[in-house]
């Protein structure tokens, strides 16, 4: 019954069903925690699901002059890229059919939603959409390079570009965060930029660009875009746990799956805390920060790993 097992993994765990549940729970936890930081109560636990269902029932409107097929394909391809990337990321010790170099494939797939987000703005006819698309592309070049270089440090440290091998190496030696804390900080900042969260929600700044590239989207298309962002959040956090915490593997202390999800909650809480503490940056400020601060730091942390004699 290999086909049944493969179908279960694809649709239930660790496939779409599991990711959907994690996505809506993380969205609720994030909004609830943000509300507490701001002195509010926050939404009930079913609110993300209610919002998703409400958007599915909304009328799907498109402005005149846009290509309907492209506008429909962009959110679907973006969601498919996130779901495909999740297939190569071990979750709570569950083995996946990985291969040498799957980290590169995952990083490429996780970059596709950002590029498609830019194309969503340029495929629209609205001024706010095009302005948000320009900002999204400029922000992409500012965070993607240090994000890739930060995660490359874990690969160099373990002498493998396989996520599973990186986990095994760290579980038998020491967690990557203790060797390269700067790399983890850079990866976390890159993830914030990739998810377009405060203070790096520059492309979709409500007071400046309305909803940015998604201004002209509504109904089912907008629901898929929001679901993509929620799933990208949990997939990105899972990747950080595997790359810097060895997937939560800690012998003779806790079961791996408990520590894995504890680390996931801690990273998600850190994202919420950063969003509540800092105001949004201007796009020129973040571009200078990325190229003058983050990229040199990422080069230094890679040089430090090689100097330690852990690299190739």
Average of pLDDT values for 22-48?
Answer: 95
How many domains are contained in the chain?
A: 1
- For residue 192, pLDDT over 80 is answered with yes
pLDDT for position 309? 63
What integer best gives the mean pLDDT of the chain?
90
CA-to-CA separations, 216 to 7, 42, 121, 209, in angstroms, rounded: 36, 28, 9, 12
pLDDT in tens, 129-159: 999 999 999 999 999 999 999 999 999 988 9
As a three-state string, the secondary structure of the chain is: CHHHHHHHHHHCCCCHHHHHHHHHHHHHHHHHHHHHHCCCCCCCCCHHHHHHHHHHHCCCCCCCCCCHHHHHHHHHHHHHHHHHHHCCCCECCECCCCCCCHHHHHHHHHHHHHHHHHHHHHHCCCHHHHHHHHHHHHHHHHHHHHHHHHHHHHHHHHCCCCHHHHHHHHHHCCCHHHHCHHHHHHHHHHHHHHHCCCCCCCCCCHHHHCCHHHCCCCHHHHHHHHHHHHHHHHHHHHHHHHHHCHHHCCCCCCCHHHHHHHHHHHHHHHHHHHHHHCCCCCHHHHHHHHHHHHHHHHHHHHHHHHHCCCCC
**Helices 181-195 + 102-123 axis angle, to 10:** 30
Structural domain includes residue 132: yes
pLDDT for position 13? 81
pLDDT for position 95? 67
pLDDT in tens, 226-247: 999 999 999 999 999 999 998 8
pLDDT in tens, 279-309: 999 999 999 999 999 999 999 999 988 887 6
pTM of the model: 0.94
Take residue 208 and report the two structure tokens written for it. Answer: 């400046």
Structural domain includes residue 8: no
Say if residues 78 and 116 touch (Cβ distance below 8 Å).
yes
Structural domain includes residue 171: yes
pLDDT for position 49? 96
CA atoms within 13 A on the CB side of 120: 31
pLDDT for position 311? 43
Rounded Cα gap, residues 223 and 254, in angstroms: 38
| Lowest mean pLDDT across 5-9, 19-23, 213-217, 267-271 | 5-9
Structural domain includes residue 256: yes
pLDDT for position 312? 43
| Lowest mean pLDDT across 70-74, 80-84, 172-176 | 172-176
Take residue 196 and report the two structure tokens written for it. Answer: 């377009």
Take residue 172 and report the two structure tokens written for it. Answer: 């038998």
Structural domain includes residue 302: yes
- For residue 11, pLDDT over 90 is answered with no
Structural domain includes residue 268: yes
Say if residues 268 and 115 touch (Cβ distance below 8 Å).
no
pLDDT for position 92? 79
Structural domain includes residue 135: yes
**Helices 163-172 + 127-158 axis angle, to 10:** 50
Take residue 272 and report the two structure tokens written for it. Answer: 């919420």
Average of pLDDT values for 216-222?
Answer: 94
Confidence of residue 172 (pLDDT cuts 50, 70, 90): confident
Domain housing 175: 13-307
- For residue 170, pLDDT over 60 is answered with yes
pLDDT for position 247? 85
Sorted by sequence, the CB contacts under 8 Å of residue 60 that are 6+ apart come out as: 218, 219, 220, 221
Structural domain includes residue 7: no
């Amino acid at each position: 019954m290999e086909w049944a097992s493969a179908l279960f993994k694809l649709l239930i765990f660790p496939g779409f069903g599991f990711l959907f549940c994690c996505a809506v729970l993380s969205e609720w936890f994030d909004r609830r925690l943000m509300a507490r930081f701001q002195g509010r109560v926050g939404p009930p636990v079913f609110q993300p699901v209610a919002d998703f269902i409400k958007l599915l029932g909304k009328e799907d409107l498109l402005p005149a002059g846009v290509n309907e097929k492209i506008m429909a394909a962009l959110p679907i391809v973006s969601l498919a890229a996130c779901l495909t990337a999740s297939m190569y990321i071990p979750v709570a010790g569950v083995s996946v059919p990985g291969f040498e170099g799957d980290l590169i494939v995952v990083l490429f797939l996780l970059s596709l939603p950002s590029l498609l987000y830019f194309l969503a703005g340029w495929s629209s006819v609205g001024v706010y959409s095009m302005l948000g698309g320009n900002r999204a592309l400029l922000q992409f070049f500012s965070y993607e390079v240090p994000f890739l270089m930060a995660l490359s440090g874990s690969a160099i440290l373990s002498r493998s570009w396989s996520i599973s091998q990186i986990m095994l190496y760290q579980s038998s030696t020491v967690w990557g965060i203790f060797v390269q804390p700067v790399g983890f900080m850079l990866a976390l900042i890159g993830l914030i930029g990739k998810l377009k969260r405060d203070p790096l929600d520059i492309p979709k700044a409500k007071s400046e660009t309305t909803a940015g590239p998604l201004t002209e989207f509504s109904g089912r298309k907008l629901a898929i875009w929001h679901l993509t962002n929620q799933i990208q959040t949990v997939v990105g956090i899972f990747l950080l746990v595997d790359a810097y915490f060895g997937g939560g593997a800690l012998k003779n202390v806790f079961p791996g799956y408990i520590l894995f999800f504890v680390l996931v909650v801690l990273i998600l809480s850190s994202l919420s805390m950063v969003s509540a503490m800092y105001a949004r940056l201007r796009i020129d400020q973040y571009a200078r920060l990325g190229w003058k601060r983050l990229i040199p730091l990422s080069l230094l942390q890679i040089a430090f790993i090689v100097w330690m004699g852990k690299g190739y």
